[in-house]
Copies of this chain bind each other. A is one copy, B any other.
Amino acid sequence: MPAYTAPVRDIQFVLHDTLEVSQQDIPGYAELDPEITEAILDAAGKLASEVLAPLNLTGDQQGCRLENGIVRTPDGFKDAFDQVREGGWPALDCDPEYGGQGMPRVIGLAIGEIFTAANMAFSMYQGLTHGAYSAIHTHGTAEQKATYLPKMVSCDWTGTMNLTEPHAGTDLGLLRTRAEPQEDGSYAITGQKIFISAGDHDMAQNIIHLVLAKAPGGGEGTKGISLFIVPKFLVNADGSLGDRNAVTVGSIEHKMGIHGNATCVMNYDGAKGWLLGDLHKGMRAMFTMMNEARLGVGVQGYAVASAAYQNAAAYACDRLQGRAVTGAATPGAPADPLIVHPDIRRSLMDQKSFVEGARALSSWCAQLIDRSELGNDSDADGLVSLLTPVVKGFLTDRGFLTTIQAQQVFGGHGYIEEHGMSQFVRDARITMLYEGANGVQALDLVGRKLAADGGKPMMAFFELVKRTIKELEGDEDLKTGFLDPLKSASKDLQSATMFFVEHGMKNPNAALSGSYDFMHLFGHVTLGLMWTRMAAAARKALRDNTASLDFYESKLATGRYYMARQLPITATHLARIRTGSDTVMALAEDQF
């Protein structure tokens, strides 16, 4: 069975050495000193290792069961959820007005990584609740907030997002669920929703469904869509639970992975719902959840990869097979451990350099969100909006490939379910598909985000890269290993951006044929930037400290690997983008 240890030291390095959180001029950041964050991370790590991780394989093997209309979670999930609740973890980064602890998002993200790495399917029950909390917090009336948020902050009630219908996934304009206004000001919601994660379960007293539906008078397509709060149990005026609402679970899907999370078909048969936010402006409210969810899914991508990597590294040190090509490393043993082989190293370095770069990128985005939301910084908002599809699309694609690489280290044993490596792969696979399949992320990036606000966020990103390089230019040791490759990769990104500016309007197919490559090109540059920042932080720490040399040097070495072996692919992505749509769109439909 796979084990998991929270990488507290690595997270601390991102928070304090790299992002220098306690020195940031962001409300709430001043109190984030290293001792406090370490204590929080240690406590979360203990829960993750001792309670959540041991349930991961159980959850996969047992899955969820639908019994008499109620979803039963795998053995041990309910107890574990109680422990998460009792630890106050769901409240960590929620509004103190509703019982939250008011910590910044950057800490919430780190805890999210740890819990997800230990048990992704389990952590989704909490994660989706946070998304629904945010939507109500942003768009709800004072009464709605008072009614729902305290219970959701504590996770006594959990939340869901109800978007997809059988015939309407990405294209929400096609959805058919209706909302009929009632005399009491509520709406009667009728329709079927599918792929509803945590749609039902036995771990909370109530479930608050946020449901997209069409109310009369709203126009065609997405314009007519509104968002509704539809609780499983109606809530009485005194806050106690009342009647069961007319929402039922049709079935649980049989999925490739995340078996421990119930993915439900939900049937709404005139269920009582209340408008959340403005009528016919449901897409906007939905995007509050969605953007948060997309960053969260990016975190899932590298979090599961991180757990898979840990187990691959341990296996590589343990499993004896073959001899080092330079001569036996352990002559007394029957064979050397796998880790002596250069190709195993290559694989582990791919994994390690991705996971650590992804962690830094995601944490930086969380910091930008904090800066935007707590500090009202619209530039930060523009930047994180630009980066969201990159984080979601790139980190989940690469995160999934990392789980594949980790599984590969186990050889044939990786294919056997009891080792748990298959589960990492199967669980991670969903991250490329849900909350907007990654092709949709690429479309969002090239079709919307690139030109948003007159291209200001994109220009700001290039400016940031330039400034980072300029600031560090004096450090000769960073030049060859970091600054030169970053400069070169960033130039590829600029050339690609120019290609889209030139072709976007007059030949949109040419632009969109390169959207996926652009997302990956952008992703590599962001990780190159983060590794450069981490390298600079490690250099600084090495100058300042005499202790932990080993740790900081490993950061530099891992970063050098990424810059030397991963970043050069930006040239290939650029070459592909420049071929435009000619070869992509050449065939007629019946030639496929």
Contact = CB atoms under 8 A, between A and B. Distances in A.
Contact of A579 (B433, B554, B565): B565
B417 A433 contact: no
A571 interface: yes
A564 B167 CA distance: 35
A10 B237 CA distance: 69
A414 B195 CA distance: 12
A425 B438 CA distance: 17
Interface stretch (A111-119, A384-392, A505-513): A505-513
Given A513-B346, A560-B583, A576-B565, A408 B325 contact: no
A10 to B, nearest CB: 12
A276 interface: no
Interface in A45-91: none
A509 B408 contact: no
A251 to B, nearest CB: 11
Given A349-B584, A565-B583, 6 more contacts: A169-B321, A171-B320, A174-B334, A352-B592, A561-B583, A561-B586
22 contacts: A167-B320, A169-B412, A173-B335, A174-B321, A254-B416, A325-B508, A326-B508, A337-B589, A339-B589, A341-B439, A342-B515, A342-B584, A343-B513, A345-B584, A346-B513, A425-B429, A550-B591, A557-B587, A557-B591, A560-B586, A561-B584, A561-B586
Contacts of A430: 415
B576 A558 contact: no
Interface string A308-348: 00000100110011100110000000110101011111111
A564 B579 contact: yes
Contact of A255 (B169, B321, B417, B434): B417
A376 interface: no
Contact of A422 (B256, B317, B412, B568): B256
Contacts of A167: 320
A344 B443 CA distance: 11
Contacts of A341: 439, 443, 512
Contact of A415 (B256, B313, B515, B568): B256
A190 interface: no
Interface of A: 164, 167-171, 173-174, 195, 253-257, 313, 316-317, 320-322, 325-326, 334-335, 337, 339, 341-349, 352, 400, 404, 407-408, 411-418, 422, 425-426, 429-430, 432-434, 437-439, 442-443, 447, 508-509, 512-513, 515-516, 550, 554, 557-558, 560-561, 564-565, 568-569, 571-572, 575-576, 579, 581-587, 589, 591-592
A415 B439 contact: no
A341 B433 CA distance: 17
Contact of A433 (B313, B411, B564): B411
Nearest to A447: B325
B433 A415 contact: yes
Given A256-B417, A339-B589, A344 B439 contact: yes
B581 A342 contact: yes
Nearest to A348: B592
Contacts of A564: 576, 579, 582-583
Contacts of A414: 433
Contacts of A257: 415
A44 to B, nearest CB: 23
A572 B570 CA distance: 9
A572 B568 contact: yes
A228 to B, nearest CB: 22
Contacts of A592: 313, 316-317, 339, 348, 352
Q: Which 6 A-B pairs have the closest CB atoms?
A: A256-B422, A342-B512, A557-B586, A561-B583, A313-B592, A554-B591
A322 B372 CA distance: 32
Contacts of A515: 342-343
Contacts of A434: 412, 415
Contact of A343 (B347, B400, B442): B442
A508 B323 CA distance: 13
A316 B589 CA distance: 9
Given A255-B416, A408-B437, A415-B256, A322 B171 contact: yes
Contacts of A322: 170-171
Contacts of A411: 169-170, 433, 437
A368 B553 CA distance: 51
A77 to B, nearest CB: 21
Contacts of A174: 320-321, 334-335
A572 B568 CA distance: 6
Contacts of A558: 587
Contacts of A550: 591
B584 A346 contact: yes
A344 B256 CA distance: 22
A325 B415 contact: no
Contacts of A346: 513, 516, 584
A313 B164 CA distance: 22
A575 B567 CA distance: 10
Contacts of A335: 171, 173-174
Contacts of A413: 169
A568 B576 contact: yes
Contacts of A400: 404
Given A334-B174, A592-B339, A164 B412 contact: yes
Contacts of A256: 415-417, 422, 425-426
Residue with the highest number of chain B CB atoms closer than 10 Å, among A253, A313, A334, A586: A586
